[in-house]
Structure 1
Amino acid sequence: MNLGLEGKVVCITGGSRGIGLATARAYAGEGARVLICARDQGRLAAAVESVRQACGIRIDAVPVDVTEPADVGRLIEHIADRHGRLDVLVNNAGTGIYKPFADVSDDDLLNGMAINFFAQFRVTQRALPLLRKSRGVVINVSGRTAIRGNFPPGSSCTGPAKAAEVRFSIDLATELAEHGIRVNCVVPGVVKSEDRLRMWETQAMSKELDPQATADIRQGLEEISVASGQSWGAPEDIADVILFLSSARASYVNGVALTVDGGPHNKSYITQLYSAKPASAA
């Protein structure tokens, strides 16, 4: 299916790995002019090379900390100077903090809101002049903790931040419709992003696991967490949805929070991981 994205200028925050990188590859494959940003310059360089090898296209990359307003301003200036327009903004940067409510620190709370909701708000607001000119599209990436809890260990910090992204998307779609700008939110369930899975496993087990132990845990929990014959999602599954929502094929889709999790029966990897901790640790 030709999604009509060739030549479109696309900015993806958190684009150096996981869903962001898969989305960058997908847009590049459609012939879009892709810009990714993230904090780590080394990861950005590796991501650019990964897309070049996969698609034969060199994408643009800018080191940016989306929690820093000055960095956000620099990002938008770069887009205006280098590309002159912005057709699609994918607010993908985010994080998850999972711990009991009583253990959540002020730093956890502030960081969780800053890299999730505050970042989406600031990047979109500063990109608004460019988006108005192009009658562009905004895709905000949230997470299933916006609508479902993760206990154990607890998602009282991350859940509200992700939920704010959903509500933000709905309000923004209503307000910006008069400018021809569509805004939708993608709410992924468990996605097998290596860095994210490893982080959760290390936190749950209080140590890094060897490759065999990691593989055993993942396979065992996946078998009891999803329906027979299914699996948790891959970053590419989310990327495909993002591309569709940003295309003219989805021109009548606006203000939607679309859950992409394989179905409500699929269980959370984090919750399963902490529930299985005693047996796994043994």
Structure 2
Amino acid sequence: MDLGLTDKVVVVTGGSSGIGLETARHFASEGARVVIAARREEQLAKAAASIAESTGASVDTLSTDVTKLADLDRLVAHVTTAHGRIDVLVNNAGNGTYKPFLEVTDEELVQGMEINFFAQFRLTQRFAPMMIEQGGGVVVNVTGETAIRVTQPPFRSSCTGPAKAAENRLSKILATELGEHGIRVVAVVPGFVNTEERFARWGEGLGGGLDAENDRAAAAERRREWGRGIARPGHEWGTPQELADLIVFAASKRATFVNGAVLVADGGDDKS
């Protein structure tokens, strides 16, 4: 299936690991010109080398902290100078703070909004004029399961959940407001995806590390937490590659009728 992504300019934030890295890899394999943005230059170099090794494609990288306005402006300037356009923006950078409501500090609250909701708002606002001028584009906002469900201890989400929910709402609002300019906006909600960061958080919650025994314990804890089985028996976690497939398809010419949608990828775990 031709996704129509050859020579499209794609920017992926949080692109040096996990879902972001696999998304960048998938776009590169489709012939897109990819820019990956993340904070750590060493991780960016490793990501670029990994993509080159697996796809034969080179990707552009830029060290970027999405919570800093100067870095966002620098990213936009870099893309403008180096590529002259942007066809797809994947707002993937983000993280989570999982603490009881009464223990969340003001610093954690502000940081949670900045790295999640504010970053998506601000970067889309900066790239949208370029998309409007060129006649269109696509924005994919990667949000999170805490946007649509209340998680249980040890992953209470009073800090992160509202920021993720705002990302979903922003996507729907922008789909209408920017749609008249030919810009589609879609939100993708990952369920439990086995990235190193997510698995480490589960390991911390269970008092263990990254090993096979703790993997089994994490899966059992997950089943206990929700009190129901997943629709894919034997698959307790999604993979970054599965999320990347959805993100790339949503950004492609094969999904032109998909706008303002909140696409949940959780293996059928959300039965509400």
Question: Which bracket does the TM-score occupy, shorter chain normalised?
Answer: over 0.9
Match of 1:92 in 2: 92
Match of 1:115 in 2: 115
Q: CA deviation at 1:200?
A: 3.6
Counterpart-to-counterpart distance in 2, 1:70 and 1:156: 29
Match of 1:280 in 2: none
Give the 5 Å matches for 1:99-178.
Answer: 99-134=99-134, 135-153=136-154, 154-178=156-180
Which residue, 231, 234, 250 being the options, matches 2:236? 231
| Deviations 1:140-160 (CA, angstroms, capped at 9, x unpaired) | 000011010112131111110
Counterpart-to-counterpart distance in 2, 1:210 and 1:85: 41
Q: CA deviation at 1:196?
A: 2.2
Which residue, 215, 236, 248 being the options, matches 1:243? 248
CA contact (8 A) 1:87 1:137 kept: yes
* Structure 2 CA distance for partners of 1:4 and 1:212, relative to 1, 3 Å: closer
Alignment of 1:20 with 2:20, yes or no, is: yes
Counterpart-to-counterpart distance in 2, 1:156 and 1:76: 32
Counterpart-to-counterpart distance in 1, 2:7 and 2:131: 15
Q: CA deviation at 1:261?
A: 0.6
Of 138-147 and 226-235, the range deviating more from structure 2: 226-235
1:262 maps to amino acid: G
Q: CA deviation at 1:213?
A: 3.9
Of 215-224 and 245-254, the range deviating more from structure 2: 215-224
CA contact (8 A) 1:139 1:185 kept: yes
Normalising by structure 1, what TM-score? 0.89
1:180 maps to amino acid: G
Counterpart-to-counterpart distance in 1, 2:186 and 2:71: 24
Q: CA deviation at 1:223?
A: 6.8
Match of 1:257 in 2: 262
2:171 maps to amino acid: S
* Structure 2 CA distance for partners of 1:210 and 1:176, relative to 1, 3 Å: closer
* Structure 2 CA distance for partners of 1:53 and 1:65, relative to 1, 3 Å: same
Counterpart-to-counterpart distance in 2, 1:76 and 1:25: 21
Match of 1:196 in 2: 198
Alignment of 1:58 with 2:62, yes or no, is: no
| Deviations 1:171-205 (CA, angstroms, capped at 9, x unpaired) | 11110011110101001100010222113422x24
Counterpart-to-counterpart distance in 2, 1:265 and 1:27: 28
Counterpart-to-counterpart distance in 2, 1:31 and 1:142: 26
| Deviations 1:208-261 (CA, angstroms, capped at 9, x unpaired) | 626354334235446765342433210111111111111111111111111111
CA contact (8 A) 2:33 2:59 kept: yes
Counterpart-to-counterpart distance in 2, 1:21 and 1:35: 11
Point out where structure 1 has 5 or more consecutive residues left out of the alignment.
268-282
| Deviations 1:76-107 (CA, angstroms, capped at 9, x unpaired) | 00000000000000000010111111111111
Normalising by structure 2, what TM-score? 0.92
Counterpart-to-counterpart distance in 1, 2:194 and 2:52: 23
The percentage of aligned residue pairs carrying the same residue is: 52
Counterpart-to-counterpart distance in 2, 1:187 and 1:26: 18
